[in-house]
């Protein structure tokens, strides 16, 4: 979901179906419990998986996966 300039959001249809939410329903937002959170920026995640290898190793692994995928 994205927040508009006016602070509005749209709950995707698949979640409205799962939660049984219909047009006109009122929702509760509980502040203090993090029910909705911001998607982290990639820069926020920099180094998060450093224990698994270097960026070069990750790039090589991704390239291997691409090659395998294209062979199928």
Q: Which residues of the chain have pLDDT under 70?
A: 34-35, 37-38
What is the structure's pLDDT at 44? Answer: 76
How open is the CA angle 70-62-56, to the nearest 5 degrees?
145
What is the structure's pLDDT at 63? Answer: 92
What is the structure's pLDDT at 31? Answer: 78
- Domain residue ranges in the chain: 1-25
Q: Is the pTM of this model over 0.95?
A: no
What is the structure's pLDDT at 48? Answer: 78
Write the burial class of residue 21 (CB in 10 Å: 0-12 exposed, 13-18 middle, 19+ buried).
middle
């Amino acid at each position: 979901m994205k927040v508009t300039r006016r602070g509005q959001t749209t709950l995707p249809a698949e979640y409205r179906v799962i939660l049984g939410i219909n047009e006109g329903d009122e929702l509760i937002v509980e502040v203090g419990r993090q029910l909705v959170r911001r998607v982290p920026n990639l820069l926020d995640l920099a180094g998060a998986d450093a224990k698994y290898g270097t960026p070069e190793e990750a790039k090589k692994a991704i390239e291997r996966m691409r090659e395998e995928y294209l062979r199928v």
